[in-house]
Amino acid sequence: MSTSTFGRMFSVANFGESHGPAIGCLIDGCPPGMELSEADIQPDLDRRKPGTSRHVTQRREADLVEILSGVYEGRTTGTPIALLIRNQDQRSRDYEDLVDTFRPGHADYTYWRKYGLRDPRGGGRSSARLTAPMVAAGAVARKWLRLQFGTTIRGHLQQLGDIDIPFDDWQEVGNNVFFAPNRAVVTRLEEYMDALRKAGDSCGARVRVCAQSVPAGLGAPLAAKLDADIAGAMMGINAVKGVEIGSGFGVVTQRGSEHGDEMTPQGFLSNHAGGVLGGISTGQDIEVSIALKPTSSIRLPRRTVDRKLQAVTVTTEGRHDPCVGIRATPIAEAMLALVLMDHALLHRAQNADVRLDVPALAARAP
């Protein structure tokens, strides 16, 4: 019941601080016999890592992962997989001024109220750096899901501040630093970010993540609903303030005659549900959208208080992402992978003997 552990059957316990010796995680419940090495994990970490363009934080971290346990002769053994990432670029002096000051929009004040003390270096444990172990664990889940069900999990930037990014092509996502699925908009995004950085300000973003080839039947009727777990996992990503599944907030103005996805022998006719009905997967694509708030660390001066609740002004220099949403795509993908994997194992614990004599409905009618 560790409050730092995600998942029930495929559990991931996260540890570390932004500027401590190391960060990492402990994966438990991974099925045995799967080929696994650092090479399966590193590419996802590389997609998330800082310093890859002028539009994200300039902190230099190789984010090299080491597998400490749970793998023998290149295969998972079924025992816990410990993943270790040593921190390298620990410029703690950047944060000395912040020991006594609570930055607006940051967790400085809440950690202090909760624990009576806090590690101020780079936000300590509240840093988005702690999403790296989740990405690493997600890579393991993603591989198993792909081998087991052919599941693919992909995400992209949907909106950057005021700029809407129309979906064009999944192939484009890897061709730009924004994870934008549309080549035409990239220059505009770069100009937008350059202006923002110059202004010393930051902006929000919206990210979409989608899982295909997810088997029907994952989830549970109550409490451990698949969509509830997805929502929890997404809202738990740093800076996320909103989560939608399927039509999301669009459902408010929909009619029942529009929303309910009709079925035919050839498959579902629409996917307003986003792949989940009654907390259980339908076999359609799992469709999730999240809103990320603008980075709280900005150069513009802000009013706040110190530990004696005296008024002070704070400006944050350091090295920060002007839009945390830019690097959020691989994180959201990883979190979705973790939830799906967890539910795949939970499902077969209870229902391994269920046999139906008719095939699953196609995700979409041709």
- Write out the binding residues for its own copies, residues 77-136 only, by CB under 8 A: 77-82, 84, 102-107, 109-119, 121, 124-126, 130
Position 366 contacts its own copies (CB under 8 A): no
Binding to its own copies by residue 57, rule CB under 8 A? no
Size (the chain), residues: 366
Distance between CA 305 and CA 313 in Å, rounded? Answer: 8
Per CB under 8 A, contacts with its own copies among 310-349 are 310-311, 345-349
E-assigned strand segments in 47-151: 65-67, 71-72, 75-76, 81-86
Torsion region of 36: left, alpha or beta (phi above 0 gives left; psi -120 to 50 gives alpha): beta
Dist CA 343 CA 8 (whole Å): 8
Size of the site for its own copies (CB under 8 A): 163
Cβ–Cβ contacts within 10 Å for residue 171, how many?
A: 9
Q: Taking CB under 8 A as the rule, does residue 285 contact its own copies?
A: no
Query: Which range of residues in 37-45, 51-59, 173-181, 301-309 is near its own copies by CB under 8 A?
Result: 301-309
d(CA 136, CA 156) in angstroms, rounded, equals 19
Other C-beta atoms closer than 10 Å to the C-beta of 167 total 13
Part in contact with its own copies (CB under 8 A); list of ranges 35-43, 48-56, 178-186, 303-311: 303-311
Asked whether position 184 contacts its own copies by CB under 8 A, the answer is no
Is 151 a binding residue for its own copies by CB under 8 A? The answer is: no
37 binds its own copies (CB under 8 A): no
Q: Contact at 8 Å (CB) between 216 and 286?
A: no
Name which of 74 and 171 has its Cβ closer to its own copies: 74
Closest C-alpha to 287, from 231, 241, 236: 231
Shortest CB 156 distance to its own copies, Å: 15
Residue with smaller CB distance to its own copies, 75 or 171 = 75
Contact in structure between 202 and 323 (CB atoms under 8 Å): yes
359 near its own copies (CB under 8 A): yes
User: Of 27-35, 43-51, 54-62, 169-177, which segment contacts its own copies by CB under 8 A?
Assistant: 27-35
CB of 207 to its own copies, least distance (A): 10
Which positions from 214 through 233 interact with its own copies, judged by CB under 8 A?
Answer: 216-225, 227-233
271 sits near its own copies (criterion: CB under 8 A) = no
User: Least distance in Å: CB of 41 to its own copies?
Assistant: 15
- Comparison of 174 and 278: residue with beta carbon closer to its own copies: 278
Q: Would you state the structure tokens that stand for residue 161, as one six-digit string?
A: 């501040």
197 near its own copies (CB under 8 A):
no
CB crowding 56-77: b at 16 or more within 10 Å, else e: bbebebebebebeebbeeeebb
Cα(362)–Cα(270) distance, rounded to whole angstroms? 11
Q: How far is the CB of 341 from its own copies (least distance, A)?
A: 11
